[in-house]
A = this chain, B = another copy of it.
Amino acid sequence: MTFVVIGGDAAGMSAASRARRLYPDLEITVLEQGHDVSYSACSMPYNIADPDTPMDDLVVRTAREFIENHHIHLLTGHRATAIHPDKKQVTVRTLQGESTAVAYDKLLIATGAVPTLPDLPGKERLMPLKQLADGRRIKETIQKQKVRNAVILGMGYIALEMCEALTELGIQVTMVKPGPRLLPWLPEKMAQVVQEELIRHNITLHAGTGIQRIEPKDTGSRIICDGRTLDADLAIGATGVAPCSELAKDAGLTLGVSDAIRVDPYLRTSNPDIFAAGDCGDAIHVVTGQPVWIPLALRANRAGWAVADNLSGNRNALQGVAGTAVFKVFDLAVARSGLTLSEAKKAGFDPVENQITSLSRARWQPGAAKIHVSMVGDRQTGRLLGAQITGTDGVAHRINAAAVALHARMSVADFIQTDLAYAPPFSPTWDPMLTAAIQLEKKL
């Protein structure tokens, strides 16, 4: 049997590696249009902040390792240009422009997502950060061109992580976006905490600022916005990503929410011999039970593994995602799991939200700091729907208690009863997650 994988990133290589372990006789071919496979994309901002560590350190396994040690036909520089489900073939084009056909018994589409840069004159001057090659390009630019100031278009996870990385390098950062406020999915008071952290680090923020075009300026760029002009030695585009689903669409596969490839719990697309996994595919949200597109690394890895399991029958059904995420910006961490108030409304719940501010540790403890927790519950069923946390201490892992509760479809009342850990160096007697749930329950 031949297993062909399109895309050599997290989902694709997880699937290929696990398939090799599970089925020693399987023929495995991976088609990767770039040159890098199996690297930690999420670590790129931290690597950029560290001039002494080469970007290539983020490579977990090289193409050579996969080929020589794992006997995977890993073809870098090979771009899949079409899938022919009727012939069970993929058309592939090499860098040299040669076209060839690769036959499969089972196919995995793991094409990931691409940055969605705004359609502006001069947008090609914006540097995205998605592939390892993007990271190398940004890092080289910083090292070669004496970058003193940067403009980042966008204010999401990647934008904020890049903002911190560039600031650590002594680069003055300005962030700009057309949307009216920072992190619109966060309750306003909590977004304000993030904004204060950015301002404290001398970041200039222009939310609610339309962008008209980007022009060259010396070795850098000039960003012409509504009402202002921003000059930058480096212009980063971090305005979001979209699933790479065109190949799938052209092959007649069903797309769903956000044009992501629709998959079932076994990661099968609408064609029984074609799987999709990673940022190009959708998932069931454990709170709504509905398909959702939330590109996250853990899901990509998990889905890749599950595809390998399911090559020999429906063995591994994924239950879905809670949309759990965390990011760091300077001293602050911001985390979320499940639905926000507005997402819950859209999903048809009758949601109630409550925010609390507590201390992260017992009040006499060094390191005790303010932590803000917002929780959303359903008035009709009492069910916990989501949580968001902001703070400088003990944020990242606290969200996981909520994530597990969401998977278990726990009510807020039941979450209140959970026996969470307490010791003064780590938490008040009532962990902020419990205090948040207790206060929310009063409103339900």
Residues of A within 8 A of B (CB): 10, 40, 42-43, 46-47, 53, 57-58, 286, 296-299, 301-302, 318-328, 333, 335, 337, 362, 364-365, 394, 396-401, 403-405, 407-408, 410, 414-415, 417-427, 429-431, 433
Contact = CB atoms under 8 A, between A and B. Distances in A.
A429 B298 contact: yes
A407 B418 contact: yes
In the complex, the count of this chain's copies comes to: 2
Contacts of A57: 364
A314 to B, nearest CB: 15
B404 A423 contact: no
Nearest to A45: B424
B364 A326 contact: no
A419 B422 CA distance: 24
A407 B414 contact: yes
Contact of A328 (B297, B426, B430): B426
A297 B400 contact: no
Contacts of A47: 364
A419 B321 contact: yes
Given A400-B433, A401-B400, A404-B408, A421 B40 contact: no
Contact of A399 (B40, B327, B421): B421
A396 B418 contact: no
B417 A318 contact: yes
A43 B433 CA distance: 21
Nearest to A322: B419
B364 A40 contact: yes
A90 to B, nearest CB: 28
A134 B147 CA distance: 61
A420 B394 contact: no
B419 A403 contact: yes
Nearest to A431: B400
A277 to B, nearest CB: 14
A422 B296 contact: yes
A441 to B, nearest CB: 11
A376 to B, nearest CB: 16
A424 B46 CA distance: 9
Contacts of A396: 394, 397, 421, 423, 425-427
A355 B325 CA distance: 26
Nearest to A404: B404
A324 B420 contact: yes
Given A46-B424, A323-B419, 20 more contacts: A40-B362, A40-B364, A40-B424, A42-B423, A42-B424, A42-B429, A46-B365, A58-B364, A298-B419, A302-B417, A319-B414, A337-B419, A396-B426, A396-B427, A400-B401, A400-B433, A404-B405, A404-B410, A407-B418, A408-B410
